[in-house]
Amino acid sequence: MSFLGGDRRWRSQKPKRREDAYTPGRKFLLLHILIVLLFAILTIQLVRMQVFQGDDYQAQAEDNRLRELQVLPMRGLIYDRNHTLLVENVGNFSAVIVPADLPAKEEAAVFARLESLLSIPAQEIAERVRERREDGNPYEALVIKDELDRDTALILKELTSYLPGVDLQVEARRNYLSGDLTAHILGYVGRISAEEYAASKDEGYIFNDQLGKTGIELVYEDMLRGKPGKKLVEVDASGHQQDVLDSQASQPGQNVVLTMDLELQRRTADILHEFMGASDNAAAVVMDVHTGEVLAMVSLPTYDNNLFSETLGQEELDALLSEPGKPLVNHAIAEMYPPGSSFKPITGLAALQEGVATPSTTIVSHGYITVTNEYDPSVVYVFHDWAALGSLDFYGGISWSSDVYFYYLAGGKQDEGFQGLGEERLARYARAFGLGEPTGVSLPGESAGLVPDAKWKKRTVGEMWYVGDTYYFGIGQGYLAVTPLQLLDAIVAIANGGELLRPRLVKEVLDSHGNVVATFTKEVRRRLPVSEDYLAVVREAMRQSVSTGVAGSAKVPGLAVAGKTGTA
């Protein structure tokens, strides 16, 4: 009994102890301690943010409020040799987005509004913004659409306050005044590609920059571009500029003066159009034989480079790429052709210099030459002339363009004991005249051409070199391939007394005030390994080609003209 009674008393007192533990005073004390701990944590965090990380947070705040922008320089102009303006800068309105200023929750609405205004699918805009963010440059403006008309530009400007991250960008674009007449020389500029940006960002280029893509615009990019400036601006929460706090002016690009004469270029193009007939393409180059200055360079068909300065549609590009004549190709420097009989002066000079022939060497053309197979005498190969021209000396061989005459000089006639040059010496002289290597003209895309020999044929074709190959080589046929500019440069070296020149397209460079900062003079690549006496013989033979020979159509009353026809 006493045990049970004691047990009841012990149990009856336990709840009282619990009530004592949660008295109002104790509850208040616990709440007070909790509040103190929370304030202590907040205080520590504030001290850490303001004292230890204050500079970092201030920098972040400044980054959100202040922004350094690049000021693009005005691109330099391009003139012909008479200072006729060929390209100018005109205003261009562009719609741009700065991804960092575009709130995620408003993206869809902004893209939809731009789709309605610019006729660009919202999904396409979203994809381009995503790519820019992934590139790690969210603060650089992304061009959504170029070439806005003035009305659209004004509407966009009014809407920018309701479109966070969106702005109207005003910049210069190129307007090529001479259009398709000089497209292959001037080239064009365009938006920088991802690959070009990766290679050029250390030189101060940004994502939306324009740079030379081809032609003079590409080769003289460093001079034409100028030096970018910069400005420190204050922006609002939507990324729109509010004030310019500091600025450093850009430096305009330098102006390039070409050696080309625009009127001569136009006349050359007219003549080439007249005579190209049904050919898919044609090219003509006019050069000063004493300086190497290119006075005209025409390639047909051509294209309007303003198409690339503006927004070129895919259909327009596909049409240019699919045209048989390849209008985007500069056929004067990039396309290789057999030179035909235009190569005969080089064969002739080699023969004179090597003692294979003299000016009085006489060969009879019966209209063909035969070669008997040394392994099977019953097999006879026939190589034709264009006519039975009879007895010819060296002057007549060139002026009447006799194939048989140059078969002898190049490959000889073994059964008559006439030793020709052979392919090794012929190839050596062809290379000495600059064939088989680029001329060094200041344009991209120049081909080296091809000078064949026995080793090349064995390596490339897998066949032996035959005397017939040498015959064809000697008259500019067979495997020999040159660009029109290469052939002209070689003939120019004959005309000027033996100097193989580097063709020049740029005469001088001017600063933005018109002062000459660079001039370009004659550059001799090398001297021909032939005597002046033999050069004079070939020049006279080429004059006779025009005065009494097959090139009579090139006569100009009152003017001594030398030339050489060629058909391939």
Please give the class, per CATH, of domain 340-500+525-554: alpha beta
pLDDT in tens, 69-90: 777 889 999 999 999 999 999 9
* Rounded-to-10 torsion of CA 110, 112, 116, 122: 110
Residue 192 has pLDDT above 80, yes or no: yes
Task: Please state the rounded mean pLDDT for residues 433-441.
Answer: 98
Identify the sign of the CA torsion 358, 288, 218, 309. Answer: negative
pLDDT value for 6: 44
Burial per residue of 279-311, b for 16 or more beta-carbon CB atoms within 10 angstroms, e otherwise? eebbbbbbbbbebbbbbbbbbbbbbbbbbbbbe
pLDDT, position 416? 94
Q: Which residues contact 286 (CB under 8 A, 6 or more apart)?
A: 264, 268, 294, 295, 296, 297
Residue 353 CA, distance from chain mean position = 41
Start-end of H helices in 95-163: 107-118, 122-134, 150-159
Calculated CA dihedral for residues 33, 35, 39, 42, nearest 10 degrees: 110
Q: Please tell me the least confidently modeled range out of 199-203, 266-270, 345-349.
A: 199-203
The first and second tokens of residue 408, run together, are 């002898």
pLDDT band at 7 (very low <50, low <70, confident <90, very high): very low
Task: Report pLDDT for 60.
Answer: 47
Predicted confidence at residue 533, as pLDDT, reads 98
Is the CB of residue 305 less than 8 Å from the CB of residue 187?
A: yes
Q: Answer whether residue 189 shows pLDDT above 90.
A: yes
User: Which pLDDT does position 12 carry in this prediction?
Assistant: 46
What count of Cα atoms within 13 Å lies in the side-chain half-sphere of residue 330? 27
| Residue whose entry in the numeric block shows the structure tokens 């003139």 | 79
Contact 339, 568 (CB under 8 A): yes
Task: Tally Cβ neighbours within 10 Å of residue 257.
Answer: 22
Segment 364-368 mean pLDDT: 98
Question: HSE on the CB side for 69, CA within 13 Å?
Answer: 23
Distance CA 15, CA 181 (A): 106
DSSP string, 507-520: EEEE-TTS-EEEE-
Tokens describing residue 299 = 């390639």
Query: Does residue 53 carry a pLDDT above 70?
Result: no
Kindly report the backbone phi and psi dihedral angles of residue 236, in degrees, each rounded to the nearest multiple of 5, phi listed first: -90, -175
What percentage of the chain reaches a pLDDT higher than 70? 88
The chain-wide mean pLDDT, for the chain, equals: 89
Domain boundaries, the chain: 67-256, 340-500+525-554
pLDDT of residue 66: 82
d(CA 298, CA 263): 12
Confidence of residue 31 (pLDDT cuts 50, 70, 90): low
Question: Which tokens is 207 given?
Answer: 């994502």
Identify the weakest region by mean pLDDT among 25-39, 134-148, 202-216: 25-39
Each residue of 477-495: pLDDT tens digit? 999 999 999 999 999 999 9
Separation between Cα atoms, residue 310 and residue 301, nearest integer Å:
21
Note the pLDDT tens digit of each residue in 456-481: 999 999 999 999 999 999 999 999 99
Question: Is residue 112 helix, strand or coil?
Answer: helix
Q: How far is CA 310 from CA 79, 197, 566, in A?
A: 21, 20, 41
pLDDT over 60 at 105, yes or no: yes
- How high is the pLDDT of residue 68? 77
Q: How confident is the model at residue 48 (pLDDT cuts 50, 70, 90)?
A: low
Q: Rounded to whole angstroms, what are the CA distances from 284 to 257, 445, 542?
A: 21, 17, 19
**What is the CATH architecture assignment of 67-256?**
Alpha-Beta Complex (3.90)
pLDDT of 410-423, one tens digit each? 999 999 999 999 99
Burial group, residue 207, by CB count within 10 angstroms (0-12, 13-18, 19+): middle
Task: Find, among 324, 276, 86, the residue nearest to 182 by Cα.
Answer: 86
Ranking 26-35, 60-69, 320-329, 534-543 by mean pLDDT, the lowest is: 60-69
If one compares 173 and 350, the residue with the highest pLDDT of the two is 350
Run of H or E residues at 539 = helix 532-547
> Hey, what are 255's tokens?
């102006």
Task: Report residue 103's pLDDT band, with 50, 70 and 90 as the boundaries.
Answer: confident
Number of H helices, E strands in the chain: 21, 20
Task: Using pLDDT thresholds of 50, 70 and 90, give the confidence band for residue 46.
Answer: low
Closest CA to 406 of 457, 460, 456, 342: 342
Name the band, by pLDDT with cuts 50, 70 and 90, for residue 316: confident
